[in-house]
Structure 1
Amino acid sequence: MFQQASLQFLKDLTRHNQKEWFEKNRKKYESTKKELEEFTGEIIKKISKFDDSVAHLEVKECLFRINRDVRFSKDKSPYKNHMAMYISKGGKKAVNPGYYFHLEPGNSYVAGGLWMPMAPELKKVRQEIDYSWDEFKKIFNNRKFKAAFNDFRRGEEEVLSRPPKGYDENNAAIAYLKLKSWIVSARITDEELVSKDLIKKVAAHFETMNPMVQFFNQALDE
């Protein structure tokens, strides 16, 4: 669980996104970061019970920096208004599918799957969905999965307008073959963030995602 003070720090950072303010409030940042580190360590342990491919990970391999890369952005705000972690067998920088947690007051969520893979990985995943359609369909039609996540995210930038090369519009899996990312997510309320049951809830979501993550790992390992 997180302290209310940590949520307040992130709210204040959104309003005062400047280096001078950040330095004056660095102790609050360090306290929030420590909470996220402890939370991440506990979540790694929980995930390792059903996905031992992440058991070797250290916390630092899963946490994203709060500093923004502003080199190519018109928005020169130096800091993100959120903190986040990504747990996959290759760590946060790998192309592997995995489990994501986003900490942002009023907009926190868990997510998982495979985000915007490069062309070689994209091809492998589409082939696996096509070859193993019945298996893949069982994953997202599972009652528990549907109750938690409903369906894969379908933002405009994440879906092809036409079938990918080599696939017909009449393919039974075409709605999923057109995707460029395969991501599911579930909202986490501010009340849940400060609840003692947070770790249990987040771990349960990640366990529900696990068959999907394993499906994508299998596709990329072939």
Structure 2
Amino acid sequence: MSGDGIPLDALDFFEELAVENSRPWWQAHRARWEESVREPMEWLTEALTDEFGPAHLYRPNRDVRFSRDKSPYKDHQGALAATVPGIGWYVQVSAAGLLTGGGFYPTGPDQTARYRAAVDAPPTGQALQALVDRLVAQGWETGGEAVATRPRGVPADHPRLDLMRHKHLVLSRPHGAPDWLTTDAVLEHVRADWRAVRPVVEWMTEHVGASQVERRR
């Protein structure tokens, strides 16, 4: 599959979807989503498979069963190239433009426990702190659900308290809509970002790993 980047119409699509997030609007514009969003994202992620493995494109439908927001469709299109479930490299396009990232989103509570234990231990925790500090200095942002104060039993003067607060941790880099977004150069920009965040993904894969908790059906 060849590609010419991600068209600006992908951003316009999500901007318009935010105004009219409904099934009739989606059905009327589905072909546009296929051409401007899904196909360019498939091209991009398939081109990265050689180095990062296959990526999964998330479904556009939202799970509204337990949400007050009943909007049926997501306001972005994301894809994850995972090392284990919930850990890996991420890329997203939305009305705000392109975003790249890496880290982990827990699929089970045991992952958060292992993450915090590894952050607490000086050798592994200091290693992650150094990786995060380096990326933040380069313009990356930390994200992921975190407690407001500190986890139970964690002292207020813990040297890595900010990392300990996180239930899951992602590093992201928003790009907006640079000139190269609509060209095939977008591939090498995403590849460079994924290489930069690779040490964090590898740390998560080694010290957090896949959830061992069986999910309820």
TM range, smaller chain: 0.7 to 0.9
- 39, 49, 57: which one aligns with 2:44: 39
Aligned to 1:162: 150
Aligned to 1:213: 201
**1:221–1:15 Cα change, 3 Å:** closer
Gaps (5+ residues) in structure 1? Answer: 49-54
Kindly report which structure 2 residues correspond to 1:6-17, keeping only aligned pairs within 5 A, or say none.
6-17=10-21
**1:152–1:81 Cα change, 3 Å:** closer
SS in 2 for 1:68: coil
RMSD (CA atoms)? 2.4
**How far apart are 1:65 and its partner, in Å?**
0.7
- If each structure's strand is expressed as a fraction of its own residues, which one has the higher value? 2
Q: Which runs of 4+ in 1 moved over 3 A?
A: none
Aligned to 1:183: 170
Aligned to 1:30: 34
SS in 1 for 2:143: coil
- Residue-by-residue CA offset, 1:65-111 (whole Å, 9 max, x unaligned): 11122223333322122111111123xxx23x211112102253112
Aligned to 1:202: 190
**1:27–1:218 Cα change, 3 Å:** same
SS in 2 for 1:171: coil
- Residue-by-residue CA offset, 1:155-190 (whole Å, 9 max, x unaligned): xx513513443x333332223222222121111222
Kindly report which structure 2 residues correspond to 1:68-217, keeping only aligned pairs within 5 A, or say none.
68-90=62-84, 94-95=85-86, 97-116=87-106, 118-131=108-121, 132-142=124-134, 146-149=137-140, 152-153=142-143, 157-165=145-153, 167-191=154-178, 192-217=180-205
In structure 1, give the amino acid aligned to 2:116: R
Q: Distance in 1 between matches of 2:151 and 2:31?
A: 51
SS in 2 for 1:113: strand
What TM-score, normalized to structure 2? 0.80
**1:17–1:141 Cα change, 3 Å:** closer
How many residue pairs get matched? 202
**How far apart are 1:214 and its partner, in Å?**
0.8
C-alpha contact (below 8 Å) 1:163/1:174 kept by paired residues = no
C-alpha contact (below 8 Å) 1:148/1:205 kept by paired residues = no
Q: Distance in 2 between matches of 1:99 and 1:80?
A: 19
SS in 1 for 2:184: coil
**1:71–1:42 Cα change, 3 Å:** same
Gaps (5+ residues) in structure 2? Answer: 211-217
In structure 2, give the amino acid aligned to 1:175: D
Q: Percent identity?
A: 21
C-alpha contact (below 8 Å) 2:136/2:142 kept by paired residues = no
**1:162–1:6 Cα change, 3 Å:** closer
